[in-house]
Amino acid sequence: MTTPELESDACYLALKAHDARFDGSFFTAVTTTGIYCRPVCKVKTPRRENCRFFRHAAQAEAAGFRPCLRCRPELAPRAASWSTQDASRILALQAARLIDEPDAWPDAAEGDAPGAARIAQRLGVSDRHLRRIFEAQFGVSPLQYLQTRRLLAAKQLIADTQLPMTQVALASGFASVRRFNAAFIEHYGLNPSAMRRAGEHENGAGRRQAIEVRIGYRPPYDHAAMIDFFGRRALRGVETPLPGARPGYARTLRVTHGGATHTGWLRVEIDVDRQQALLQVSESLAGVLPIVISRVRGMLDLDAEPMAINATLHASFPLGDGVRVPGTVDGFELAVRAVLGQQITVAAARTLGSRLVEALGEPIETPIEGLTRLFPSPAALADADPDLLGRMGIVRQRQGALQALARETRDGRLRLHAGADVPLTLLALQALPGIGDWTAQYIAMRALRWPDAFPSGDIALQKALGVGGAKAAAQASQAWQPWRSYAVLRAWHTPPAAATSNPQDAPLADAVTT
């Protein structure tokens, strides 16, 4: 089924130009080969009459096409999963986001990925209603969409790791190796071991010391601003910027999923020529590679759709077309750092965060200089002695906010990830002591990946917009919906003419209350 809203001639022109702006926005299936590709694929351009165009990879696979081993559709940026349009479209995109985000199901055991019935239950609708609106939006059923996601996740593990096939199957959401093998043969016409051999031949890949993955993004992308954002906030022991001809960023991380905890490190660089992020991950995280990749996509905002965003924001921020919204690989960590950063400068918040890591962070060995600790776990912070926190320079009111946040996260009542329900999470955050609107909106912007978050009380934002007060800032932002998170970052990167200091170092407006 070809998605009707796609303009085939425009798609073919983008394919001929290998235009990375459209990467992940559609896929081209070639009838003479039975293979579907990304628009950026470097193979010889097929004849127009042999091409079919699909909005989603799941549609191409449902039509009987196999993914290209060269351009690897699983590496393409994901399509937008937010909408302010009609309720049915919003619900369908929410369902897709729950399928796309493995962190939405942290308690699922290996091989127990959610099915359509569980997704419908999470959204509060019937299975039948979800299938109807999902098929209207995506052209495939939730089960077909989910199956494609599982297969593409498995394909990436097969290509980029040496994990045994049993682990590949379970990590990708298959309940058994038998079902995994059957799905592969049915969809791709060869078994997983044969695909691994074919991929090694195609890519010249052999056994490597660490996992290496390429993840595509759509230009323009101000990667220098992104790396600088993380570098200026880097906590000692946990993260470090990587200087050089191709600047990058490295950090440690902890992934808890299905009752098991995995720890390790990652490093990432931006390949501007290929419009790709080059991700290297420690072997200790191989079993949760789909989760790590999803988190890195969010951290670097690799799935952003600049053409849609710039259509709304370019007139107001003409120099900000490539600016993205920095995310996080750990929603709890981001929330803690947001609380620590209330009413103080970036440098002061970095100092407090580094002290917290030194006192409560678990040691870890890595091959990267400067990466020696994990960020403190929710349990470690929840159980910390208040006197110890006080000696770090964390005032009592902020201690209460941090430990309440840690307890809610530790006990599973608060989930801070891209698959979370935004309105409910905002309410839960603001019900905690010491967390007001600014902090909640900032967390929604970076941890929940909500593109329309807007911390109107931020003093630096108000100055950049040339307005006085939160109400005036909120009124000024209405024309930027649903991309106000991007407007915030662009405003921070565009200080007013009379500014004498960097707006990102200005005090933030959220007062800590008890």
pLDDT at 6: 79
Instruction: Tell me, yes or no, whether 53 and 142 share the same domain.
Output: no
What predicted TM-score, i.e. pTM, was given to this entire model? Answer: 0.88
Measured over the CA atoms of residue 375, residue 381, residue 385 and residue 387, the dihedral's sign is positive
What pLDDT, in 10s, does the model give residues 158-176?
888 888 899 888 888 888 8
User: Is 74 inside a domain boundary?
Assistant: no
Strand partners, 268: 249, 279
Residue at which a domain ends, from 154, 176, 203: 203
What pLDDT, in 10s, does the model give residues 406-418?
999 999 999 999 9
pLDDT at 313 over 80: yes
What pLDDT, in 10s, does the model give residues 138-159?
899 998 999 999 999 899 888 8
What pLDDT, in 10s, does the model give residues 102-117?
888 776 665 566 777 8
Decide if 37 is catalytic.
Answer: yes
Residue at which a domain ends, from 176, 203, 230: 203
Nearest CA-CA partner of 388 in 366, 345, 422, 359: 359
pLDDT at 282 over 70: yes
Name residues whose C-beta falls within 8 Å of residue 509's C-beta, 6 or more positions apart in sequence: 343, 438, 455, 457, 458, 459, 462, 470
Which of the pair, 343 or 487, is modelled with greater confidence?
487
Instruction: Tell me, yes or no, whether 255 and 399 share the same domain.
Output: yes
pLDDT at 81 over 70: no
DSSP 49: G
User: Is 71 inside a domain boundary?
Assistant: no
Nearest CA-CA partner of 339 in 427, 248, 432: 432
Instruction: Tell me, yes or no, whether 197 and 286 share the same domain.
Output: no
pLDDT more than 70, % of the chain: 90
pLDDT at 25 over 80: yes
User: Cβ atoms within 10 A of the Cβ of 491, count?
Assistant: 29
Residue at which a domain ends, from 172, 203, 234: 203
Among 34-43, 82-91, 185-194, which is the least confidently predicted range? 82-91
Q: Which two tokens stand for residue 510?
A: 């959220």
Instruction: Tell me, yes or no, whether 103 and 14 share the same domain.
Output: no
Find out whether 425 and 334 touch, Cβ atoms under 8 Å: no
pLDDT at 26: 94
For residue 257, give its domain range.
213-505
Q: What is the CATH number of the domain that holds 446?
A: 1.10.340.30
Phi, psi of 149 (to 5 degrees): -60, -45
Find out whether 433 and 402 touch, Cβ atoms under 8 Å: no
> One of 100, 222, 301, 458 is an active-site residue; which one?
458
> Alpha-carbon distance 140 to 353, whole Å?
46
pLDDT at 496: 38
SS (H, E, C) 328-362: CCCHHHHHHHHHHCCCCCHHHHHHHHHHHHHHHCC
pLDDT at 48: 95
DSSP 451: T
Judge if the upstream peptide bond of residue 495 is cis by omega within 30 degrees of 0. no
β strands within 389-446, DSSP E? none
User: Is 512 inside a domain boundary?
Assistant: no
pLDDT more than 90, % of the chain: 67
pLDDT at 84 over 70: no
Confidence of residue 203 (pLDDT cuts 50, 70, 90): low
pLDDT at 417: 93
Instruction: Using DSSP bridges, classify how beta strands 66-67 and 239-242 pair: parallel, antiparallel or unpaired.
Output: unpaired
Q: What is the CATH number of the domain that holds 56?
A: 3.40.10.10
Which of the pair, 106 or 208, is modelled with greater confidence?
106
Confidence of residue 351 (pLDDT cuts 50, 70, 90): very high
Instruction: Tell me, yes or no, whether 16 and 62 share the same domain.
Output: yes
Averaged pLDDT of the chain: 88
Find out whether 69 and 155 touch, Cβ atoms under 8 Å: no
pLDDT at 493: 84
What pLDDT, in 10s, does the model give residues 485-507?
999 999 998 643 333 333 333 33
pLDDT at 2 over 70: no
Structure-token match 């628009």, residue found: 39
Instruction: Tell me, yes or no, whether 299 and 429 share the same domain.
Output: yes
User: Is 72 inside a domain boundary?
Assistant: no
pLDDT at 7: 86
Among 320-324, 477-481, 493-497, which is the least confidently predicted range? 493-497
pLDDT at 202 over 60: no
Q: How many domains does the chain have?
A: 3
> One of 11, 23, 37, 330 is an active-site residue; which one?
37
Q: What is the CATH number of the domain that holds 189?
A: 1.10.10.60
DSSP 281: E
Decide if 385 is catalytic.
Answer: no
